[in-house]
Structure 1
Amino acid sequence: MNSHVDFEPTKKKFSFQELEKLFDEIFLKIDRSKSRFEVFKDFVTCSACALRNSLSGISKNLVVQSLEDEYHKIMAKYSKEDKSNIHHLFGLLIAMMEARALPHDVLGDLYMRFEFGSSHNGQHFTPTHISNLLAVMNSGQIPELIKQKGYVSCVDPACGAGSTLLAKVKCVIDGGFNPAKHLYMEGTDIDRLVALMCYVQLSLWNVPGRVFVGDSLTLKMREMWITPAYVHGAWYRKLNH
């Protein structure tokens, strides 16, 4: 995986539990001189940068050079073997999502399981089953909204790793709709790491959207991350009509 290349996940089929165990084993052996939180943060950041700059396949003008530089600066901290393992983690993340079959906050679960929440800004994420319940309770209007304007929008001003947004993606899929065509999402979080966790997961589920790093209360945004599906589907045009 470089900052422009999509990673092809392992083709052999494993259960989610087997993939989760393998992810943990590889993650825990990467550069033991660093904290697990630093390694996790680097993994998420590099994954986000790679997904964002994968848009270079459409146009070189879509490459964000600062993210390209950040990617290479982070990867330079690791040995060749550790770089390979970080690439492997990305493939395993994709495989874990495929094993789940429907949207699930995989990165949020990993974050909480490794207890990063207690040491990093006191972050705690909504459990997926709660997000799913809330999404189902508010999903009745989805078919009608899609019928009226062709898509439904969902905005989360405190998105965290994306549990609430992913639950809405699940509802759209359960309703027989294609998220890439019928769903637009925006998420915002003041914490860059968790915002990027959300961005990675929405991108891998092929959801058109934008994730902002900033303060929803003051409306001061530091960064905007557009998902590949947002560009591929020309959503910047749809939203302006």
Structure 2
Amino acid sequence: MTHPAVTAFLRALDQFDRSKTRTEIFRLFCEMAYCALAKRATPFADQRDRLEADYMACVGRFPNKDDVRRMPEMMALSIEAIAGGGIDFIGQVAAEIGALDAGLGQFFTPYEVSRLIADMSLGDARAQIEAQGFITVSEPAAGAGGMVLALADALESQGFDPARHIWVEAVELSRSTYHMAYIQISTRGIAGGVINGNSLSLEVFEQAYTAAAPVFFGLHGDPFSKQKDAARRAAQAYEEARARARELLRSTAPVQARAVWQCD
């Protein structure tokens, strides 16, 4: 059954100038909403300038400025539905109007299925959260963010705040669905970063912190500080070992011993 907020959103789409399809209008809406939300969340002045420029470029795509004035109503519908939890709002709208690209492997997963998977994957997070204050989650193919929303709902059902007790790194290859994912993950109050990039090649095209990220950082600092410290220690140990090997090669040690320590 279609959520009432989705029905209202679709009605709003039908009020636009018919020179554009509903899919075109929806994608422009998502880009404008992304720009507006990410601009408020980013700590970087140059990113704010780029987001403002991108927002105004979208505005310029609407000759009838009454269409632009409809955007706040649609934004209000979206925020109210997403913030309340229990729905993959943007994903459902995209599925209803055919905005997902099956050729790119984009298919709508009903929220109930995502929630079941989230409950099974998360398990009881209390022990880990009590030990270090939070859990981290990596989503390498985020789509419109539906699985991340379900995970936040599952965590919240255990009594934990997604802004304080979870850090999400969500990656999405398609630019249009990246916008959708950011809108939903940020609006739901989940701390983390959303990345427009390729999880296989590790390319990054664009990225933005969510609005809840400063809350998390204020409580816990860098969520990956332990891993970074371990990586630095490993790199230092490696360099020290190489230095010892080079020193041995320059010494008068027997040739057989030196061969064991041969290095580049």
How would you bin the TM-score normalised by the shorter chain?
0.7 to 0.9
Q: 1:47-73, CA deviations, whole angstroms, 9 ceiling, x for partnerless residues? A: 0110011137xx673752111100011
Instruction: Tell me how far apart the structure 2 counterparts of residues 84 and 128 of structure 1 sit (CA, whole Å).
Output: 30
Q: 1:140-191, CA deviations, whole angstroms, 9 ceiling, x for partnerless residues? A: 2411110111001111100101111111101110001111110110111110
Structure 2: segments with no counterpart, 5+ residues: 227-264
Say whether 1:77 aligns with 2:61. Answer: yes
Say whether 1:189 aligns with 2:172. Answer: yes
Say whether 1:104 aligns with 2:87. Answer: yes
Instruction: Give the structure-2-normalised TM-score.
Output: 0.77
Match of residue 238, structure 1, among 222, 243, 246:
222
- Structure number with greater Rg is 2
Structure 1: segments with no counterpart, 5+ residues: 1-15
Deviation at 1:232, TM superposition (A): 3.8
Counterpart of 1:71 in structure 2: which amino acid?
Y
The structure that is helix-richer by fraction is 2
Q: Percent identity?
A: 27
Say whether 1:155 aligns with 2:138. Answer: yes
Instruction: Tell me how far apart the structure 2 counterparts of residues 121 and 111 of structure 1 sit (CA, whole Å).
Output: 14
Instruction: Give the structure-1-normalised TM-score.
Output: 0.84
Q: Is the 8 A contact 1:55 1:62 kept in 2?
A: no
Deviation at 1:137, TM superposition (A): 1.0
Q: Is the 8 A contact 1:55 1:63 kept in 2?
A: no
Instruction: Tell me how far apart the structure 2 counterparts of residues 206 and 224 of structure 1 sit (CA, whole Å).
Output: 17
Q: Is the 8 A contact 2:181 2:194 kept in 1?
A: yes
Q: Is the 8 A contact 2:163 2:215 kept in 1?
A: no
Alignment of 1:1-241 (within 5 A): 17-55=3-41, 61=45, 63-78=47-62, 79-98=64-83, 101-118=84-101, 121=104, 123-234=106-217, 237-239=221-223, 240=225
| Pair 1:211–1:118, CA change in 2 (3 A) | closer
User: Cα RMSD over matched residues?
Assistant: 2.1
Counterpart of 2:65 in structure 1: which amino acid?
K
Deviation at 1:234, TM superposition (A): 2.3
Q: Is the 8 A contact 2:86 2:111 kept in 1?
A: no
Deviation at 1:119, TM superposition (A): 7.2
